[in-house]
Amino acid sequence: MDSIVLCTEEIDDLGEAVEELFAQAEGFALKKHTLAVLFTEEDADYSTLYELLSGQWGFPIVGSTTLAMLLAEKGCCRTGISVLLLTADDVSFAVGMTGELDQNNYREEIVALCASLEPQLPAPPKLVLTYGGMVASEDNVPGDEVVSAIEEALGKDIPIFGGVASDGFNFSNYRVFCNDRVTQGGQAIVLISGAIDPIFIMTNSVENRADVSYKVTKAQSNRVMRLGGGTFVDALRRENMEVSKQNVVGDYFLSPFVLSIDLGDGDIAEITRTLSLLNLETGTGVFLGEIPESSILRIGILNRKDVQKSVNQAFDKMLSALSKSGGGRRTLLCSSCAARFLAMASNTSAEAEAYQGRLPNGISLLGMYGNGEFCPMRGEKTGKNHNFFHNFTFTIMAI
């Protein structure tokens, strides 16, 4: 599969922006099937942008807003529009987006969408690429439930990769795109079949933890009602942590909650979760991802040194894998946690420094900073890939 990354820092004059993108694509040969993965800063008018792009591009476009973009040569870019074009004769794409999802309809919506997309492919799907919205209210759907619903429709053997839309840390201006549709609560899904064999690398960046720990004694999906013998909010209050308002995702962005989970088949993994909301009436904490009952929660401490170390490790592993694979994969798509960006403080280019000057010739790279990452996790015991929704990770897919 061939690819190219296009980018422009122009968002005020979208006519000019589109002309820049088209000019960069001149000479790039489109094959039988093409997909555009597009990321923009939150202030870009995507509806107008799509109208202009679709006048010349007859292929599907999916993506989201993002806090910042990662590019092969420019590194980290906070402004503008970036597009990855994927094109091949022997790879096919089926693209769609659900309606606005909530706790009552998400499973039916996601399963129905996957069921409608699968017959559009000439062969069974080998990869799911997906982008969605974050948990900004108690009714929103956590990423784990998205994974579960996709697996219900397609099975657990098809890898799922993607991210959760982000914005400039206001947690309200994020959006998800699929062709002419723009949403905050929908899930954009791409099924991909044909001659692909993706490689996945993910790494966690939370090595330091506070001494205090609590057992989750009552939880449901991403809602934690009780820790030990008291409510979740009571436990936070005892630790002198923020409990004075409902929306606390910004307050806890650099203080993730660390726990171990059972992946199945005997595999155990340590993960991190972001606290998003507090229900002060019930004492409940609402996270961006699932917290299993009986888990032991510890508060992590995200710092610059650990973030830099983890992304270096991720690219060391990926570049080694590419070298061993014989050069058949020429595209890297990345999803990194927005909290990692925040942890880097003034050195926001640190993650880009892990790959700049190291990528093999002919490799395209595009990345986004989101409020969650979809990427398979390899079990240490079985070596099996388990689809998973992450927080605080850096993930890379090579195709």
Q: What six digits make up the tokens of 344?
A: 């880097």
Q: What is the pLDDT of residues 123-170, one digit of tens each?
A: 999 999 999 999 999 999 999 999 999 999 999 999 999 999 999 999
What's the confidence (pLDDT) of residue 195?
96
Whether residues 316 and 296 share a domain: the answer is: no
What's the confidence (pLDDT) of residue 197?
95
What's the confidence (pLDDT) of residue 303?
78
* pTM given for the model: 0.95
Whether residues 242 and 363 share a domain: the answer is: no
Whether residues 360 and 380 share a domain: the answer is: yes
What's the confidence (pLDDT) of residue 124?
98
- Asked whether 80 and 70 are in contact (CB, 8 A), the reply is no
What's the confidence (pLDDT) of residue 305?
83
Q: What six digits make up the tokens of 167?
A: 């914005």
What's the confidence (pLDDT) of residue 25?
98
Whether residues 120 and 218 share a domain: the answer is: no
Q: Distance (Å, rounded) from C-alpha 317 to C-alpha 324?
A: 11
Whether residues 198 and 224 share a domain: the answer is: no
Q: What is the pLDDT of residues 257-272, one digit of tens each?
A: 999 888 877 888 889 9
Whether residues 255 and 125 share a domain: the answer is: no
Structural domain total, the chain: 2
Whether residues 295 and 310 share a domain: the answer is: no
Range of the domain at 289: 208-301
What's the confidence (pLDDT) of residue 204?
85
Domain boundary among 237, 266, 301: 301
Whether residues 314 and 216 share a domain: the answer is: no
Whether residues 106 and 219 share a domain: the answer is: no
Q: What six digits make up the tokens of 255?
A: 């203080």
What's the confidence (pLDDT) of residue 132?
98
- Asked whether 25 and 59 are in contact (CB, 8 A), the reply is no
Around 349, how many Cα atoms within 13 Å sit in the side-chain half-sphere? 8
Determine how β-strand 331-337 pairs with β-strand 364-370: parallel
What's the confidence (pLDDT) of residue 27?
95
What's the confidence (pLDDT) of residue 209?
73
**Which parts of the chain sit beneath pLDDT 50?**
none
For the chain, state the CA radius of gyration.
20
Domain boundary among 245, 266, 301: 301
Whether residues 41 and 180 share a domain: the answer is: yes
207: Cβ–Cβ under 8 A, 6 or more apart, which residues?
306
| CATH number for position 237 | 2.40.30
